Chains A and B, each alone.
Chain A
C-alpha cells in the first residue's frame, strides 16, 4: 500500500527522503533527482503561472489534503502531447481506456489486486455485504467544486436507481437480483450495502462498467434532474429533446456512450478534460490537463505530466498504419494490433522512432469452438452433447500446424482456464486432449455409433444423414479464426467429419446466437486473466457468450424462469460461482473456483485450439514510464491502469 501515503502540502522535502529509503526505484531516481529538484514548482508551468496570477487556486488547495500518491518509475517532466488515433464511429472507448478510468478503485499492473483510487481506503464487513469507502479530503471535480460522498449517493440513488434513466440498474450494482444502496456517513465516507454477500464488488468497481459511482457530478448534473430542478421540462424543450433522460444522457453521457466525451462543460475526475468533443462530425478530439487532478507523484508533482491528448479521427483505420510508420502516433494499440501488421510495424521501428510494447492477452483461448449442445435438431443435439464426440474432435485437430501457419508460432496448444502463471492455472482444464491423435479420434467416433461412412469417406449420423455442421465466424472481426477453421476443416475431414466455415456478418452472428439457430460458433475464449469477471467458458453464464448452450444461460440469469434446465454439473457450477462471488478471502475463493474448474474439465464443453495470442502496441521511444508489457483486456481497460497520467516525454 505504498501508494497510499498521506502527505500534506508542506512536507515535500521529507517526503522525498522517505521515498529514497525505499529500495525500489532508488537507482532510477538518483539519476532524475537533479532535474526534478531544479523544477521548483510542483505543477505544470502554465498552471503555476495561472496560480501566481491568482486566476487559479494554489496547488495544495487544488489537489486537496490527501491526494493519491503514485509511485512512478522516473519522475517526469511536464509538457508535450500524446497523439492517438480513433475510428469515426463507435470508438468512444478508445478515449475511456486512456482517460476515463477513475473509479472508486483501480487494478494493479498485474491485474491481480485492487488498489485505492478515488477511494483512499475501504472496510468490508465479515459477510461482504457492506463496503465503506473513505474518500479523499479536499478532492475536487475538474471545475474546482468539491467531490464528496453526496456525489456518489447522487450517482447511485438518484441516477442509477431512477427508472426513467435506467430501466434496470447497471448490473455491477446488482447482486442476487437486488440493487445495492449507497448511504452517506459523512462528507468523505460512503457506505454501500447489499442484500446478499458480494465479495466481487471491489473488482467490479475497478472495471470500466463499475464507474457509475464517480460518473455524475451532482452540482452540475442536478440541473438536468427533475428531482432537483422542477423546471427541467423547459431545458428539454429548449434543447429540442423528447424527455429529460435524453437530455441528461446528451449532457452527461454514460459509461460507454459517445456523448460522455461530447460535452466540454461537464466536470470530471479524469486527468485530462475534453476541449474539442467527440461528436458526429468531429475530425479530432482534444483533451487538456485537468488543473484539479487529484494525483501526485512521490515527489509531490501534480499529475498528469503531459499537457494534452490529441485523438485524430480516421474514417479508415488502415490509414493509422501510415500514421504509425511515419511516427505520428505516440502510443497506440487500438486498430493496429493484428498479427498481420506486426512485421510491417517491426520493420519500420527505426523510421517511426517507436518501440513495440507487449500486450498480454487476457483471453484463455484464441479460437474457442462452441458446439451447440442445445441444438434445435434433436439428432445433432444428441451428437454434440456427447462428451466423447467433442473429445474426438479435439484430438483430431493438428494444433501445431495451426499455430505455425496462422499464429507464426506465437502460441501453444490449449483448451481453456486461467493462463499459465495465473495462481488459479488448472493443468487438466488447460491441456487435456490437446495432442494430435487422428487414429484415436477416429476410433472414438466409431465407438459412439458414427461408424458408417458415405462414398466420400464422411461419417453418417445414426439417422443416415451425413454428419455435417456449420461453424459461424465473423471474418471482418477475426480473420485469423477463418484461417484456423479452414485448417480445422481439413483436419476433421481426415477423421470423417465435414464442416462448413460459415463466414457471416457480425449482426447476423449475434441474431443466430440469440435465436439458438447456430450449429456451432467460434469466438476468442475469455477468462485467461479475469476468470471471475468473465467465466462464460467455465459454465453457461453469458447469454450472448456461452454459445454452447445459450438456453442454459437464460435459465441461469433468470433464476430458472426462462430457458432450459441445464444438467447437474452445470447447476453445481452455477452454485459454486455464486459462492465464489460471495467469498472475499482470495484463498478460499480460489478453492471454490478450483472445484468449479474440476467440473468444467470433466464436462469438456468447449473445444479450444491454442492459448490466446499476445497482441502488441507501439510507443514512441521518448515516451517514458510506459510498462514494457501489460494486460490487454476490457476489465483492465489498457492502457488506463498503466496510468497514462504518469507517462512523460523525455525529450
Chain B
C-alpha cells in the first residue's frame, strides 16, 4: 500500500510539469494578450489607454518575449521560490488572491456536498427499496426535473422571486454590514442566512443525479444472495440494508471525491457569477477573460494538482472501504 502511494506521488511530478506547460500554452492561445484585452475592456466604457503606457505595459509584463521564455520565468519562480508571480491586473501576489477566496469556497462546497448527500442517499435507498411504488415514481419524476433544469436558470428565477416578490436581499454571502466585518457569531448567522439559496441551487442538480446512481446501485445489490441470506438469518430490515448493500453501493460516491476537489475551484462558476458569490470560480473566469496569465495559470495548476490528489485519495479510500479492491 505504501509503495503504491509513493509511486503514485512520484508520477505526479511529470504530470504536473506537462500540465503546467499545456495550461500556459492554452491560456496564451487566444489572439491578443493581457494588454489588448485591457485596452479593449476599457474601450467598452469609452475609455482610452495612453499609447505610451500600453506599449510599456507589454514590456513590463514581459509579454513581448517568446512564450517559452515567459513559461520558463513563470515555472522557475514557482519551483525555486514558491512565487506564483504578480497578477497583471491587480498588482498583487497571485497566491494571496487565491487563498483569500478559498475559505468561503470551502464552506460553500462542503455545505453543498453535505446537503446533496444528506438528501440523495436516503431518497436513493428508499426509491430502490420501494421500487415501482407511487413514491418511487414521484421521486424519479422530481429528480429528472432537477437534472433537466440548468442551475443558473434556477438561480435567476430564485433571485427574481426573492428580490421582486419578497424584497429579500439576494446575491453575495453576507448582508451589507457584515461584508468586511471581523468574524463573529452574528456574522456566521448572517452567512447561514445567505448560504441556503446557493446551496439549494447547487444541490438540486447534484442530488438528482446521485439519487439515480444510488437507486441503480441498490437495485443491483438487493437481489444478491448475501442479502437474502442475511434476511433469512433474521436481521432487521433497516440494519440489513445499511450494513450490506448500502456499503457496497457507496463505491461510486467515493470515486466522486476525485473530481470533488477540483470542483472546489472551478465548480459552480456560473451560479457563483449570477449570484455574485465571493468564491474562487468567478475570479478564475475573470482572470481567463482578462488573460491575466499568472493568476489564470496558478488557478489551472491548482485545479490539476487537486485532481491528481483527489484521485489518489479516492483510490486509497476505495481500497479501505471495499476489501475486494484491496485484494487485487
Contacts and interface: CB of A to CB of B under 8 A. Distances in A.
Interface stretch (B85-93, B107-115, B314-322): B85-93
B276 A209 contact: no
Contacts of A240: 83, 93
A208 to B, nearest CB: 8
A169 interface: yes
B283 interface: yes
B182 interface: no
13 contacts: A166-B52, A166-B53, A167-B52, A168-B52, A242-B86, A255-B50, A258-B90, A262-B92, A279-B92, A280-B89, A326-B167, A506-B43, A632-B46
Contacts of A276: 180
B16 to A, nearest CB: 23
Interface in B279-328: 282-283, 285-286, 289-291, 295
A314 interface: yes
Interface centre among A250, A477, A507, A557 (most CB of B within 10 A): A507
Interface stretch (A43-51, A229-237, A315-323): A315-323
Nearest to A284: B179
Interface in A502-556: 505-511, 534, 543-544
A315 B38 contact: no
Nearest to A362: B46
B228 interface: no
A284 B173 CA distance: 12
A484 interface: no
Interface stretch (A58-66, A87-95, A596-604): A87-95
A93 B46 CA distance: 10
B119 interface: no
- By size class, the interface of chain A is 35 or more
Interface string B142-179: 00000000000000000110011001001110001001
A594 interface: no
B21 to A, nearest CB: 22
Given A166-B52, A168-B56, A286-B180, 12 more contacts: A88-B286, A90-B41, A167-B55, A174-B52, A242-B86, A281-B97, A284-B179, A319-B274, A326-B164, A477-B40, A506-B44, A507-B40
Contact of A315 (B30, B51, B93, B272): B272
A314 B90 CA distance: 17
B133 interface: no
Interface string A145-182: 00000000000000000000011111110100000000
A508 B53 CA distance: 20
A256 B36 contact: no
Interface string A243-257: 001100110001111
Interface string A207-249: 0110000000000000000000000000000001110011001
B45 A334 contact: yes
A510 B41 contact: no
B254 interface: no
B161 to A, nearest CB: 12
Contacts of A249: 91
B39 A544 contact: yes
Given A88-B282, A315-B272, A634-B46, A280 B97 contact: yes
Interface of A: 88-90, 93-94, 166-172, 174, 208-209, 240-242, 245-246, 249-250, 254-259, 262, 276, 279-281, 283-284, 286, 310, 312-316, 319, 322, 325-326, 334, 362, 474, 477, 505-511, 534, 543-544, 557, 632-634
Contacts of A262: 90-92
A246 B276 contact: no
B5 to A, nearest CB: 34
A511 B32 contact: yes
Contacts of B289: 89
B255 to A, nearest CB: 32
A169 B291 CA distance: 26
A274 B171 CA distance: 24
B263 interface: no
B22 interface: no
Contacts of A245: 60
Contact of A507 (B37, B91, B286): B37
A507 B100 contact: no
Contacts of A166: 52-53, 56
Contacts of A509: 40
